[in-house]
Amino acid sequence: MNINEMLYSIYIKIKNRKGRKFKHSVVMAKSYLSSFPEPENDYQRSFFQYKCQKWDTMSFFEVFLSNFASIFLFFPKYLVYRQKRIETEKHYDAVLTLEMLKNKIPKSFEGSYTVQNFNDGRLSREDSKFIWGNIRKHPFAFFFNYKIMCRIAAYSVSISCYSPSIIFSSAEYSFTSSILTEYCEKKGIKHINIMHGEKTFTLIEVFCRFTEFYIWDEYYEELFNSLRANKTEYVIQRMPIPNIEIYSRSNRCTYYLQMHTREQLYNIKKALDETRLDYIVRPHPIYSNGDEIGIFGEEHIEKSSVNIWESIGKTRIAISQDSTVLYQAFLVGVEVALDDISDSEYFVEIKKRGYIMFNKPHFLLSDMMTNKYNQRL
């Protein structure tokens, strides 16, 4: 585990203890967002996004820790990146920043591609000039500058090694995205983003810009515009659906866990038990806190080897708070239930913030605990 992965692991553990809480109301978030002037360039877009994320999602301790660590990490990393020597390898038409993008590349793209290694990085003299020119604008934004340096270094390796004409990313949530778009476009490379996961009105994806931005539904164009993302070329491409078999759905329902406190997990178990239906729970691949087996029992835990689409195909009802899986289930005709039980305050908030599944056919977990739903089965 490298230092970045270690810091991220600590961050996830802290988040799990707190649960999924909004730091500010949606009214306050909209007011804060409107207080920013129109960005003059991509650097401002990234810096405004960073400021919004810091204000809306990070505690004082998290801000302090990330900046403190970045002070000590910056120069050692910078020296390693500067000393790195890169040899040109095989040419590819595109580089993917994530392995999962292999199944999400736009249908119109027919070229060759490879996947980027984000643990690798180098900085040329030109890259250093680009980075230091930006650092001078906000020299004490240590975490902001550190993250940008690391991402520029990773992109530099991919561009030097593979000479792509496109870099496909899935990082509208990253405050580095707009600066990376500028970096790519200065080199004649398109920076094309493919929507990463479910979105509501939060100040995480604000101000982002890409050469092109692939979204799943017309609904999201309006949402991103309200977040003051650049009115770039949005391309609507439905989420790719594999040729899955809709099984007998022996699991009456599957709860797709997200980030939950221990208390919320107990609330979910109690609600599922009261439905008197067979159920399975699927831990989140990142946010699992290790308590799931002890609370639900191993017989109710879906194996991690089960593909997400296979899981959806086996279930009759998909349940979660605001997981992307619910939208995936809706696309293949699986019934969707929104969890209004485990954290009722969060449920009210995501409705205010425009979660898409409130505008699609659904019912509630509380319905499943009564005969209102169960008598239909």
Q: Which domain holds residue 332?
A: 251-374
Tell me the whole-structure pTM to 2 decimals: 0.87
Q: How many domains does the chain have?
A: 2
User: Which residue in this structure is represented by tokens 């802290």?
Assistant: 14
Are 187 and 306 found together in one domain?
no
Asked if residue 59 belongs to a domain, the reply is yes
Token couple for 257? 């866990």
CA–CA separation, 175 vs 56, rounded Å? 13
Taking 90 as the threshold, does the pLDDT of residue 17 lie above it?
no
Whichever domain contains 280, its CATH number is 3.40.50.12580
Do 141 and 100 sit in the same domain of this protein? yes
Residue 241: inside a domain, yes or no?
Answer: no
AA identity, residue 257: L
Domain end: 236, 271, 294, which one? 236
Average pLDDT, stretch 31-59?
A: 96
Residue 245 domain-assigned (yes or no): no
**Same domain (yes/no): 58, 14:** yes
Contacts (Cβ under 8 Å, ≥6 apart) of 203? 29, 32, 33, 52, 53, 55, 56, 57, 227
For residue 215, which phi and psi values (nearest 5 degrees)? -120, 160
Strand order in the sheet with 94-96: 113-115, 94-96, 166-169, 190-194, 212-215, 233-236
pLDDT above 90 (res 111)? yes
User: Quick one: 141 and 22 in the same domain?
Assistant: yes
Is residue 306 located within the same domain as residue 337? yes
Distance, CA of 118 to CA of 50 (rounded, Å): 20
Do 14 and 137 belong to one domain? yes
Nearest by Cα to 144 from 135, 152, 157: 135
E strand spans, 190-314: 190-194, 212-215, 233-236, 251-256, 279-282
Give the type of residue at 104: K
Q: Are residues 188 and 332 in the same domain?
A: no
Domain-embedded: residue 70: yes
CB–CB of 287/160 below 8 Å?
A: no
Average pLDDT of the chain, as a whole number: 89
**pLDDT single digits (tens) 273-325:** 998 889 999 998 888 878 899 999 999 999 989 989 989 988 999 999 999 99
Interval 333-365: pLDDT, tens: 899 999 999 999 999 999 999 999 999 999 999
Residues 215 and 291 in one domain: no
Give yes or no: residues 219 and 293 share one domain.
Answer: no
Contact 144, 152 (CB under 8 A): no
Of the candidates 340, 334, 330, 328, the one whose C-alpha atom is nearest the C-alpha of residue 365 is 340
- Range 65-80 burial, b when 16+ CB lie within 10 A, else e: bbbebbeebbeebbee
- Per-residue tokens: 122: 């180098």
Query: Is 244 part of a structural domain of the chain?
Result: no
Does residue 186 lie within any of the structural domains? yes
Give percent above pLDDT 90 in the chain.
70
- Whether residue 237 is predicted with pLDDT greater than 70 in this model: the reply is yes
**Whether residue 55 sits in one domain with residue 32:** yes
Domain-embedded: residue 191 = yes
179 and 259 fall within a common domain: no
Helices (H) and strands (E) in the chain, counts: 15, 11
Same-domain status, 132 and 20? yes
Residue 187 lies in a domain: yes
